[in-house]
A and B are shown apart, each in its own frame.
Chain A
Amino acid sequence: MLEIYPGELEVEAIFSRWYAWGAKRNFGAWVTFVGTVRAEGGIEALSFDIYEPLLRSWFDGWQQRAQEVGAVVRMAHSRGNVPVHTSSYMAAVFSPRRRVALELLEAFVEDFKANAPIWKYDVRNGERIYAKDRSQPLAGSGLLDL
Protein backbone atom coordinates (compact mmCIF):
# COMPACT_ATOMS: atom_id res chain seq x y z
CA MET A 1 0.00 0.00 0.00
CA LEU A 2 3.10 2.21 0.15
CA GLU A 3 4.79 2.68 -3.20
CA ILE A 4 8.08 4.45 -3.85
CA TYR A 5 9.20 5.29 -7.39
CA PRO A 6 12.31 6.84 -8.89
CA GLY A 7 11.47 10.22 -10.46
CA GLU A 8 8.00 11.62 -11.14
CA LEU A 9 4.90 9.54 -10.48
CA GLU A 10 2.91 8.12 -13.36
CA VAL A 11 -0.22 9.57 -11.85
CA GLU A 12 -2.76 8.24 -14.33
CA ALA A 13 -1.41 4.68 -14.12
CA ILE A 14 -1.31 4.72 -10.32
CA PHE A 15 -4.74 6.32 -10.14
CA SER A 16 -6.19 3.67 -12.46
CA ARG A 17 -4.60 0.84 -10.53
CA TRP A 18 -5.86 2.13 -7.22
CA TYR A 19 -9.33 2.65 -8.67
CA ALA A 20 -9.42 -0.90 -10.03
CA TRP A 21 -8.20 -2.23 -6.68
CA GLY A 22 -10.89 -0.41 -4.72
CA ALA A 23 -13.79 -0.76 -7.13
CA LYS A 24 -14.79 -4.27 -6.12
CA ARG A 25 -14.16 -3.95 -2.41
CA ASN A 26 -17.44 -2.27 -1.55
CA PHE A 27 -15.93 1.01 -0.42
CA GLY A 28 -18.48 3.78 -0.60
CA ALA A 29 -15.91 6.54 -0.74
CA TRP A 30 -12.50 7.08 -2.26
CA VAL A 31 -10.66 10.34 -1.62
CA THR A 32 -7.35 11.12 -3.28
CA PHE A 33 -4.70 13.78 -2.93
CA VAL A 34 -2.13 14.53 -5.62
CA GLY A 35 0.80 16.85 -4.98
CA THR A 36 2.31 18.52 -8.05
CA VAL A 37 5.57 20.45 -8.27
CA ARG A 38 4.88 24.12 -8.94
CA ALA A 39 7.17 26.32 -10.99
CA GLU A 40 8.34 28.91 -8.46
CA GLY A 41 11.59 30.43 -7.30
CA GLY A 42 13.31 29.46 -10.53
CA ILE A 43 13.44 25.76 -9.73
CA GLU A 44 13.55 23.15 -12.47
CA ALA A 45 12.58 20.27 -10.18
CA LEU A 46 12.25 19.15 -6.61
CA SER A 47 14.30 16.24 -5.38
CA PHE A 48 13.65 13.82 -2.52
CA ASP A 49 15.57 11.50 -0.22
CA ILE A 50 13.58 8.91 1.70
CA TYR A 51 14.53 6.82 4.70
CA GLU A 52 12.44 3.82 3.83
CA PRO A 53 12.52 1.72 7.06
CA LEU A 54 11.05 4.52 9.17
CA LEU A 55 8.67 5.63 6.42
CA ARG A 56 7.27 2.11 6.32
CA SER A 57 6.76 1.90 10.08
CA TRP A 58 5.15 5.38 10.08
CA PHE A 59 2.86 4.26 7.24
CA ASP A 60 2.02 0.96 8.97
CA GLY A 61 0.85 2.93 12.00
CA TRP A 62 -1.55 4.85 9.79
CA GLN A 63 -2.77 1.70 8.10
CA GLN A 64 -3.62 0.28 11.49
CA ARG A 65 -5.46 3.47 12.44
CA ALA A 66 -7.39 3.30 9.14
CA GLN A 67 -8.29 -0.35 9.65
CA GLU A 68 -9.88 0.48 12.98
CA VAL A 69 -12.50 2.51 11.10
CA GLY A 70 -12.81 0.06 8.20
CA ALA A 71 -10.67 2.15 5.86
CA VAL A 72 -7.51 1.61 3.82
CA VAL A 73 -4.74 4.14 3.15
CA ARG A 74 -2.59 4.09 0.02
CA MET A 75 0.36 6.29 -0.77
CA ALA A 76 2.91 6.77 -3.53
CA HIS A 77 5.98 9.00 -3.33
CA SER A 78 8.94 9.80 -5.53
CA ARG A 79 12.60 9.61 -4.70
CA GLY A 80 15.16 11.57 -6.71
CA ASN A 81 14.29 14.39 -9.08
CA VAL A 82 10.71 15.37 -9.95
CA PRO A 83 10.44 18.09 -12.64
CA VAL A 84 8.02 21.01 -12.33
CA HIS A 85 4.46 20.28 -13.38
CA THR A 86 4.80 16.60 -12.55
CA SER A 87 3.80 14.87 -9.33
CA SER A 88 5.78 13.55 -6.41
CA TYR A 89 3.08 12.51 -3.98
CA MET A 90 -0.24 10.70 -4.07
CA ALA A 91 -2.34 9.61 -1.12
CA ALA A 92 -5.74 7.99 -0.96
CA VAL A 93 -8.21 6.74 1.59
CA PHE A 94 -10.80 4.10 0.76
CA SER A 95 -13.63 3.84 3.22
CA PRO A 96 -17.16 2.61 3.61
CA ARG A 97 -18.14 6.16 4.59
CA ARG A 98 -17.50 9.58 3.05
CA ARG A 99 -16.90 11.45 6.31
CA VAL A 100 -14.31 8.93 7.51
CA ALA A 101 -12.47 9.12 4.20
CA LEU A 102 -12.38 12.92 4.08
CA GLU A 103 -11.25 13.33 7.67
CA LEU A 104 -8.72 10.54 7.57
CA LEU A 105 -7.10 11.83 4.39
CA GLU A 106 -6.68 15.30 5.84
CA ALA A 107 -5.17 13.95 9.07
CA PHE A 108 -2.94 11.57 7.11
CA VAL A 109 -1.56 14.26 4.78
CA GLU A 110 -0.94 16.69 7.65
CA ASP A 111 0.89 14.06 9.67
CA PHE A 112 2.82 13.07 6.57
CA LYS A 113 4.14 16.62 6.23
CA ALA A 114 5.26 16.65 9.86
CA ASN A 115 6.55 13.13 10.42
CA ALA A 116 7.39 11.23 7.25
CA PRO A 117 11.19 10.80 7.01
CA ILE A 118 11.58 12.49 3.63
CA TRP A 119 13.95 15.33 2.70
CA LYS A 120 13.18 17.85 -0.01
CA TYR A 121 15.61 19.79 -2.17
CA ASP A 122 15.10 22.52 -4.75
CA VAL A 123 16.92 21.79 -7.99
CA ARG A 124 18.43 24.82 -9.71
CA ASN A 125 20.94 24.50 -12.54
CA GLY A 126 21.23 20.83 -11.72
CA GLU A 127 22.21 21.50 -8.12
CA ARG A 128 20.25 20.13 -5.14
CA ILE A 129 19.63 22.70 -2.40
CA TYR A 130 18.08 21.46 0.86
CA ALA A 131 14.68 23.11 1.43
CA LYS A 132 15.55 23.87 5.03
CA ASP A 133 13.11 26.75 5.50
CA ARG A 134 10.17 24.48 4.54
CA SER A 135 11.30 21.55 6.67
CA GLN A 136 10.09 20.60 10.13
CA PRO A 137 12.09 18.94 12.90
CA LEU A 138 10.82 15.51 13.92
CA ALA A 139 9.61 14.91 17.47
CA GLY A 140 12.54 14.57 19.84
CA SER A 141 14.94 16.59 17.71
CA GLY A 142 17.94 18.01 19.52
CA LEU A 143 18.33 14.99 21.79
CA LEU A 144 22.06 14.76 21.09
CA ASP A 145 22.70 18.49 21.46
CA LEU A 146 24.32 18.48 24.89
Chain B
Amino acid sequence: MVRVEFLGPIGKEAMEVEAKDLRELAQILKADEQLRGWLKECAVAVNDRLVDDLDTKLHDGDRVVLLPPVCGG
Protein backbone atom coordinates (compact mmCIF):
# COMPACT_ATOMS: atom_id res chain seq x y z
CA MET B 1 0.00 0.00 0.00
CA VAL B 2 1.06 3.54 -0.74
CA ARG B 3 0.04 6.41 1.52
CA VAL B 4 -1.13 9.57 -0.27
CA GLU B 5 -1.32 12.89 1.60
CA PHE B 6 -2.93 16.11 0.42
CA LEU B 7 -1.23 19.22 1.71
CA GLY B 8 -2.26 22.79 2.45
CA PRO B 9 -5.66 23.91 1.22
CA ILE B 10 -6.73 20.65 -0.45
CA GLY B 11 -8.35 19.62 2.81
CA LYS B 12 -8.62 15.92 2.13
CA GLU B 13 -7.80 13.10 4.49
CA ALA B 14 -4.78 10.94 3.63
CA MET B 15 -5.58 7.70 1.85
CA GLU B 16 -3.94 4.31 1.29
CA VAL B 17 -3.98 2.90 -2.23
CA GLU B 18 -2.47 0.14 -4.32
CA ALA B 19 -0.50 1.58 -7.23
CA LYS B 20 2.67 0.35 -8.90
CA ASP B 21 3.69 3.75 -10.29
CA LEU B 22 2.57 7.37 -10.44
CA ARG B 23 0.68 6.82 -13.68
CA GLU B 24 -1.52 4.26 -11.97
CA LEU B 25 -1.93 6.53 -8.97
CA ALA B 26 -2.99 9.39 -11.26
CA GLN B 27 -5.79 7.21 -12.67
CA ILE B 28 -7.02 6.44 -9.17
CA LEU B 29 -6.94 10.08 -8.04
CA LYS B 30 -8.60 11.29 -11.22
CA ALA B 31 -11.75 9.44 -10.23
CA ASP B 32 -12.00 11.40 -6.97
CA GLU B 33 -14.35 14.37 -7.34
CA GLN B 34 -12.80 16.22 -4.43
CA LEU B 35 -9.48 16.29 -6.29
CA ARG B 36 -10.92 17.57 -9.53
CA GLY B 37 -9.12 20.82 -10.31
CA TRP B 38 -6.28 20.15 -7.89
CA LEU B 39 -4.37 17.58 -9.94
CA LYS B 40 -3.40 20.03 -12.66
CA GLU B 41 -2.05 22.46 -10.05
CA CYS B 42 -0.20 20.13 -7.72
CA ALA B 43 3.43 19.10 -7.61
CA VAL B 44 4.21 15.60 -6.35
CA ALA B 45 6.77 14.33 -3.87
CA VAL B 46 7.56 10.67 -3.24
CA ASN B 47 9.16 10.03 0.13
CA ASP B 48 9.77 13.78 0.46
CA ARG B 49 11.53 14.16 -2.88
CA LEU B 50 9.87 16.16 -5.68
CA VAL B 51 9.41 14.06 -8.80
CA ASP B 52 8.65 14.87 -12.44
CA ASP B 53 8.31 11.45 -14.02
CA LEU B 54 4.96 9.66 -14.28
CA ASP B 55 6.79 6.36 -14.55
CA THR B 56 8.25 6.76 -11.06
CA LYS B 57 7.81 3.37 -9.40
CA LEU B 58 5.93 3.10 -6.13
CA HIS B 59 6.63 0.50 -3.47
CA ASP B 60 4.84 -0.78 -0.43
CA GLY B 61 5.14 1.80 2.35
CA ASP B 62 6.00 4.73 0.05
CA ARG B 63 4.54 8.10 0.90
CA VAL B 64 3.27 10.38 -1.85
CA VAL B 65 2.32 14.00 -1.12
CA LEU B 66 0.45 16.43 -3.37
CA LEU B 67 1.60 20.03 -3.05
CA PRO B 68 -0.70 22.79 -4.33
CA PRO B 69 0.62 26.27 -5.33
CA VAL B 70 2.68 27.88 -2.57
CA CYS B 71 3.09 31.33 -1.07
CA GLY B 72 5.35 31.80 1.92
CA GLY B 73 6.41 34.94 3.74
A143 to B22 alpha-carbon distance, docked (Å): 9
Please encode chain B, from 51 to 67, with 1 for each CB lying within 8 Å of some chain A CB and 0 for all others: 11010000000000111
- Do B7 and A49 have beta carbons less than 8 Å apart? yes
Indicate whether A119 sits within 8 Å of B9 (C-beta atoms), given known contacts A138-B43, A141-B43, A144-B66: yes
Contact partner of B42 (CB less than 8 A), chosen from A115, A131, A141, is A141
- Contact at A145–B73, with CB atoms within 8 Å? no
Binding site secondary structure of chain A? mixed
Interface residues of B in 4-54 (CB under 8 A from A): 7-9, 22-23, 25-27, 29-30, 39-45, 48-52, 54
- In the complex, what residues of A have CB within 8 A of residue B50's CB? 54, 138-140
Q: Which residues of the other chain, A, contact B52 by a CB distance below 8 angstroms? A: 139-140, 143
Number of A-B contacts (CB under 8 A): 115
Q: What is the CA–CA distance of A49 and B8 in the complex, to the nearest angstrom?
A: 6
A-B contact pairs, 26 of them (CB 8 A): A51-B7, A53-B48, A57-B49, A77-B73, A112-B72, A117-B7, A119-B7, A119-B9, A119-B71, A121-B9, A132-B9, A135-B68, A136-B70, A136-B71, A138-B67, A139-B43, A139-B52, A141-B67, A142-B40, A142-B41, A143-B22, A143-B52, A143-B54, A144-B25, A144-B26, A144-B39
Question: Is A15 part of the binding interface, using a Cβ–Cβ cutoff of 8 Å?
Answer: no
Q: Is A18 an interface residue (CB 8 A)?
A: no
Contacting pair B67 A54 (CB below 8 A): yes
